[in-house]
Structure 1
């Protein structure tokens, strides 16, 4: 997907992929992953997710990476917080305390940017990318993060072939994408009822969400 696609979606407020509350699986499964650690969390393609505030409130410095400047501004405005803005290339950094959103292309991230990161939260990155971009995303995430980095990954699977995000990612695809470089623990799957607000809004059939804990070797 080209950058213009995402800029247009945010400009037109076509953000049905945005979850307006803290994700339930983050509540349930983050404590097991973090094990009382309060290290920096990398959140790729973070949008304006409320999850960043939740993680920050639990003592984690945050590095979110987001292409849309609108999303970055909205995140802090909707959180009733002012952000210091540091323009730069390839990222402009929006910062409040030790919560940062790096406005730019995730694929411009380099290992020195996240050398101190050992925790990653991915609820909306992998499922935001079409099939041909997902291997590139996983390859780049693997290349920039240190060994032993742990990831909480949440995926969505459903019938059909959507032309816009969120995209369906099967459990089998997760294993194919990550098994060469990560230990994979499939910790939860939840079938969404037809009247589930998200499934109903998106017209999803046979939808399910899965949660994985990944540890980079």
Structure 2
């Protein structure tokens, strides 16, 4: 699906894929994923408004999400009752939503394929609950190449 397709679905509230609780696979495998470490940097691509992000932050991790649709970013902070600020991104078209309380959560609102233009640094973990299958088949190799760079290469 394209950003235009996702925007349409958000506008029509066709986001039934969102869960009201953390994903059971995340809860089950968090120790294996983190190797028991705290204060890791998590990247959550195509995050929408998943409550997994709040849960990860409450576990002591820094969470950077990326969502193409502004409505999803706003709904996350409003539904989770987390105060936030919004600024325009400098390197690409989009915005950054940042928690203004003690939670270390930032959501980049832009096209995933513009991620290469952002200087996000590297991440210790990537939590991709369903992004890979949401990306068009012809774009999946490109998607994985971008994830590889944010996971392994320092910007």
Shift in CA distance, 15/139, structure 1 to aligned 2, threshold 3 Å? same
TM normalised by structure 2 equals 0.87
Deviation at 1:114, TM superposition (A): 3.1
Give ranges in structure 1 of 5+ residues lacking alignment. 148-217
1:56 is the counterpart of 2:57: yes
Contact 1:67 1:106 in 2 (8 A): yes
1:121 to 127, 135, 149: 127
Aligned to 2:47, what secondary structure does the other structure show?
Answer: coil
Give ranges in structure 2 of 5+ residues lacking alignment. none
Deviation at 1:117, TM superposition (A): 1.3
1:121-200 to 2 correspondences below 5 Å = 121-146=127-152
Between the two structures, name the one with larger relative contact order (CA 8 Å, sep ≥ 6). 2
1:104 corresponds to = 110
1:26 corresponds to = 26
- Of Structure 1 and Structure 2, the greater helix share is in 2
Contact 2:97 2:106 in 1 (8 A): yes
1:213 corresponds to = none
**Deviation digits for residues 73-96 of structure 1 (CA, Å, limit 9, x no counterpart):** 000000012211112242311011
Q: Which deviates more, 55-64 or 122-131?
A: 122-131
Aligned residues: 147
- Of Structure 1 and Structure 2, the greater strand share is in 1
Larger radius of gyration: 1
Deviation at 1:71, TM superposition (A): 0.2
Aligned to 1:132, what secondary structure does the other structure show?
Answer: helix
2:85 corresponds to = 84
Contact 2:86 2:96 in 1 (8 A): yes
* Separation of aligned partners in 2, 1:33 and 1:17: 23
Q: Which deviates more, 105-114 or 23-32?
A: 105-114
